[in-house]
Structure 1
Amino acid sequence: MADVARAAGVSSATVSYVLSGKRAVAPETRTAVEAAIAELGFVVNTAARSLRTGRSSLVALIVPDIANPFFAQLTATLQEELRGLGLHVVVCDTRARREEERALLAEAVQQRFAGVVITPFRLLPKDLGVLTDAGIPAVVSADVPFGAVDQVAPDARAATRQALELVTAARRRRIAMIAGPRDATGGDPRLELLRALARQYGTALPGDLVVRGEHTREAGAEGFAELMDRRYRPDAVFCANDVIAVGALDKAHELGIDIPGEVALVGHDDAAFASLVRPRLTTIRYPAEEVGRAAARLLRERLDGRTAHRTVRVKAEFVARASV
């Protein structure tokens, strides 16, 4: 850095500001520094920086299923938002296992990560204590409150209400749901929200019309088959996410059940494939890009010294397509 500073005719501190982006630098000064960096072939030694600061330039993004397009988009957005801060995202897939979630938190502490962004599936709020004790900021993306931590959470009430309005306007009264597993962190808030709002539309979500499973395509197919085997079949099925809904579509085709003629189908998240399947999937859009931007903003504020915990709510939107 001293060599770059001499070549550019500036101080070493100015070179540091150009590299870190933490302070504004005049455009002509930035150009001179960047030209000197290119001429000298200077490369930042991130290992040395980590030794000096006691923290790496890495941020862990911990998700339950990287194959889910929602998390792929979240990864891309978070990476783009943090790159300008000199931070790099390491993606960790837990496969929705609590032991893996806890192991990855421990690894983040051991490697002195700059921060952690996590979508917990079976993790408990107390498990985040290892990060707090190590002074590593964390941002949780979850539907339910997760204790004294920065959090990004959905506001899906209005969108769920719109979905119910469309379903009940089509005179569907036996509403079912393929929900997540019972031992998921915080239960299944999407199920509870649907159940609470359904009563306002003169219908209910009885226990025999709720089936549970993992957030997978296979669980969606199994859950739909189970619902169709009921003595009184549902005429509308809500799904905890779009991956489950695609599994339900698979099984409907296999069983010769017309969607939406016989059964309306509603997903959640609006993954990239939701508009590609046939029929195109009606869903509740929870925008991964906005979630990623909000998580990056919270992490940046925490790294800049904010101490009070914040929760950012991201508004979900109802997307009407052809499956209702």
Structure 2
Amino acid sequence: MVRERVTMADVARAAGVSSATVSYVLSGKRPVAPETRAVVEAAIEELSFTVNVTARSLRTGRSSLVALIVPDIANPFFAQLAATLQEQLRGLGLHVVVCGTGARRDEERALLAEAVHQRFAGVVITPFRLKQQDFKPLVDAGMPVVISADVSFGPIDLVTPDARVATRRALERVSTSQRRRIAMIAGPRDATGGDPRLEHLRALAMQFGMSLPHELVVRGEHTREAGAAGFGALMSRRYPPDAVFCGNDVIAVGAMDKAHELGVDIPGDVALIGHDDASFASLVRPRLTTIRYPAAEVGRSAAQLLIERLNGRQAPKTVHVMAEFVARSSV
């Protein structure tokens, strides 16, 4: 027996309000009393109401495709994000198209333009070199957009990490191993929004009596090759570091490559800390200590925000996903 789709009228009956009131709660177009909003939202959750994507496509002329735009398809973090997003949206008749940009601004802009041209149902994106104004054509077209990033891009839905506690725990672990001179292999200087991970690390390091001097910050793309080059540069300093933080786990593996080549022992000579906890982090040797930013939770949060937009919500929303320190054998 096929279960009938729950309609807005069903929600209205369950909540004891009009269909118009349900519509106002979903869209935010008109104010609704907090008590009434709470009753409607409870009915929506109880009935598992979601937008009828097929009907919406016919009404709006939009396709059932959602673009997931990421800098690096080969990075396992983005592979997990894609798998989770697809799993969450498939039951709604939405299909995810994964697009890699190579972290190039021209490719990012071209893919956004194509999403508008093809009238996609929505876009989930991890921007690397885009600016806030680059999203204006999508906003003007009324296209739902969810950004996964460390920084805000204005009044657009955002999924963002909260890594303050995790970074503090990483520094505590480094501190207990009697290391004081830390370094970071960070992202490129022209990446959107700077590098909040570097800024958080520098601010917290001072509280532990550690230094993060400018000469011990090297920059490059979020690649294995950049990690190797960055680690080599750090080890050539007159006073090299005894702990190296990396912008992501891919960079950290590149740093391990170079350490092996140079005969630098990890963690004996230098502690190494990654970021993201990609699937390979526990497989490399030594096993990588890292800050876990759960890709699956990011995917679920992005899917929920997108669904809410498709259901009519208009006010922008931010979801903070907690990061977690994962201690392994590279510190």
Partner of 2:304: 297
Partner of 2:285: 278
Give the whole-Å Cα distance in 2 for the aligned partners of 1:116 and 1:222.
34
Question: Does the alignment pair 1:191 with 2:198?
Answer: yes
Partner of 1:3: none
Give the whole-Å Cα distance in 1 for the aligned partners of 2:217 and 2:198.
9
Question: Does the alignment pair 1:165 with 2:185?
Answer: no
For the residue of structure 2 that corresponds to 1:274, the secondary structure is coil
Partner of 2:131: 124
> Which structure's CA Rg is the greater one?
1
Q: Which of 181, 196, 216 is the equivalent residue of 1:174?
A: 181
Partner of 1:319: 326
Q: Check conservation: 1:177, 1:238, Cα contact below 8 A.
A: yes
1:66 Cα shift? 0.6
How large is the Cα RMSD of the aligned pairs? 1.8
Code of the aligned partner of 2:246 = C
Question: Does the alignment pair 1:146 with 2:153?
Answer: yes
Question: Does the alignment pair 1:62 with 2:69?
Answer: yes
Q: C-alpha deviations, 1:45-79, integer Å up to 9, x for none?
A: x9998565310000000000010000000000000
Q: Check conservation: 2:202, 2:212, Cα contact below 8 A.
A: yes
Which structure 2 residue ranges, 5 or more long, are not aligned?
Answer: 9-52
Q: C-alpha deviations, 1:73-105, integer Å up to 9, x for none?
A: 000000000011110000010000011000000
Code of the aligned partner of 1:160 = T
Q: C-alpha deviations, 1:170-224, integer Å up to 9, x for none?
A: 1101100000000000011100010010011011211000000000000000000
Q: Check conservation: 2:54, 2:93, Cα contact below 8 A.
A: no
Q: Which of 228, 236, 241 is the equivalent residue of 1:221?
A: 228
Q: Check conservation: 1:57, 1:86, Cα contact below 8 A.
A: yes
Instruction: Give the 3 Å change call, closer, same or farther, for CA 94–305 of structure 1 in structure 2.
Output: same
Give the whole-Å Cα distance in 2 for the aligned partners of 1:106 and 1:176.
39
Q: Which of 160, 163, 167 is the equivalent residue of 1:156?
A: 163
Give the whole-Å Cα distance in 2 for the aligned partners of 1:69 and 1:182.
24
Give the whole-Å Cα distance in 1 for the aligned partners of 2:250 and 2:229.
13
> What does 1:3-42 correspond to in 2, within 5 Å?
21=5, 23=7
Q: Check conservation: 2:101, 2:107, Cα contact below 8 A.
A: yes
Partner of 1:4: none
Q: C-alpha deviations, 1:245-283, integer Å up to 9, x for none?
A: 000000101111100000000000000000000000000
Instruction: Give the 3 Å change call, closer, same or farther, for CA 125–234 of structure 1 in structure 2.
Output: same
What is the number of residues matched between the two proteins?
287
Give the whole-Å Cα distance in 1 for the aligned partners of 2:318 and 2:56.
31
Which structure 1 residue ranges, 5 or more long, are not aligned?
Answer: 1-7, 9-14, 25-45
Code of the aligned partner of 1:188 = D
Q: C-alpha deviations, 1:265-317, integer Å up to 9, x for none?
A: 00000000000000000000000000000000000001101111100000000
